[in-house]
Chains A and B, each alone.
Chain A
């Protein structure tokens, strides 16, 4: 602090304003920066619109590397997203005590999966990740998730593993206790999004709860992603 004050005293600036040429150059540099920023934003926007026009789901532009979560599958075995090599993955977060949103999401996913052409079905895996690990043990997931389709895999894990996976996909969940109720009969508020990951593990698209009910449009997206789009 003292030093800067003494420096100021030693090098007093006779002119407060920079010389005219300097000011003009500064202005030009500033204009250039603005132009670059605008064209950069415009390019991003155009890229987004191009991808958006191609897909029904909400695209991530540019597509993100899909976070390789470490969870526990319905058979109690360690499970990583990267195990599903060469497959497109559709997954969402939820919990088995969920009466409305989760059975609907899983029914929608079953409808989509079953309507896929057989050759595509072999290249698509549906996952359902619990955000309620206290009640959703692997056994519970096994009795719940494959009910909607035999091929679906239920995942749970430690609280930390689940928190990490949810955070990586921007998902949110929160336990809500109903006052006066049994402490075990809580509900969980959670993001009801479904994520589409491409076979090369890019997080491509997001579907909200309502979008998922349009089977044919989601299938068109899946086929594009399987085709390398």
Chain B
């Protein structure tokens, strides 16, 4: 029970996490990383990124304290035999036009975290540095690891 309260407090604090770098007109909300078992070599990071500036930004990738690579991915959905086939595709970047919000979420666009070097459990935090173009603009985040999508 105490753990539960602690986790929900943690969630409340992470949901309201708003990151703003001086040079980066960006708002990041509700960032989290999917907790996965030790046998998994990959997981994903999710968040909402709003471009508050006047120029288009591109999310080109990230680096993570517990993985060798982090890349932007899109989820593909196609219909076959009346059933939906889901897959993913690596993309060079995910563009966010001024005023728009890019939603990284389960079953949609995401940052794939590959080559996990350790497997943080639920409630732990990992360092995630997201990178944007043009240029090499970076933003450091501390992101909670969760088993379930926060709702």
Residues of A within 8 A of B (CB): 96-101, 103-104, 107, 110-111, 140, 143-144, 147-148, 170-174, 176, 178, 187-193, 206, 208-210, 213
B112 to chain A: closest residue by CB:
A99
Contacts of A101 in B (CB 8 A): 75, 86, 88, 106-107
User: Which of A100, A111, A144, A147 contacts B107, CB < 8 Å?
Assistant: A100
B41→A170 contact, CB < 8 A: no
Contacts of B36 in A (CB 8 A): 99, 103, 147
In the complex, A37→B89 CA distance in Å? 46
A191→B112 contact, CB < 8 A: no
B41 to chain A: closest residue by CB:
A97
- A186 to chain B: closest CB distance in Å? 11
Contacts of B110 in A (CB 8 A): 99-100
A192→B147 contact, CB < 8 A: no
- B112 to chain A: closest CB distance in Å? 5
A140→B76 contact, CB < 8 A: no
In the complex, A100→B114 CA distance in Å? 12
In the complex, A31→B83 CA distance in Å? 36
A143→B39 contact, CB < 8 A: yes
* Cβ-Cβ contact count across A and B, 8 Å cutoff: 99
Contacts A176-B87, A187-B87 hold; do A97 and B147 have CB atoms under 8 A apart? Answer: no
- A127 to chain B: closest CB distance in Å? 17
Which residues from 46 to 84 on chain B have a C-beta closer than 8 Å to any C-beta of chain A?
A: 73, 75-76, 80-84
Contacts of A172 in B (CB 8 A): 80-81, 83, 85
B78 to chain A: closest residue by CB:
A189
B118 in the interface, Cβ–Cβ < 8 Å?
no
Contacts of B147 in A (CB 8 A): 107, 110, 148
Number of contacting residues on B, CB 8 A? Answer: 32
- B135 to chain A: closest CB distance in Å? 26
In the complex, A191→B84 CA distance in Å? 5
Which 8 pairs from chain A and chain B are nearest by CB?
Answer: A189-B87, A147-B37, A143-B39, A104-B106, A99-B42, A192-B86, A191-B83, A170-B81
B39→A144 contact, CB < 8 A: yes
A97→B83 contact, CB < 8 A: no
User: Which of A103, A144, A193, A213 contacts B83, CB < 8 Å?
Assistant: A193
- B132 to chain A: closest CB distance in Å? 21
- B79 to chain A: closest CB distance in Å? 10
User: Which of A103, A143, A173, A208 contacts B38, CB < 8 Å?
Assistant: A143
Question: Contact mask B103-116 → A, CB, 8 Å, 1/0?
Answer: 00011001011100
B110 to chain A: closest residue by CB:
A100
B88→A97 contact, CB < 8 A: no
In the complex, A187→B41 CA distance in Å? 12
B112→A190 contact, CB < 8 A: no
In the complex, A98→B23 CA distance in Å? 35
In the complex, A206→B84 CA distance in Å? 11
A140→B39 contact, CB < 8 A: yes
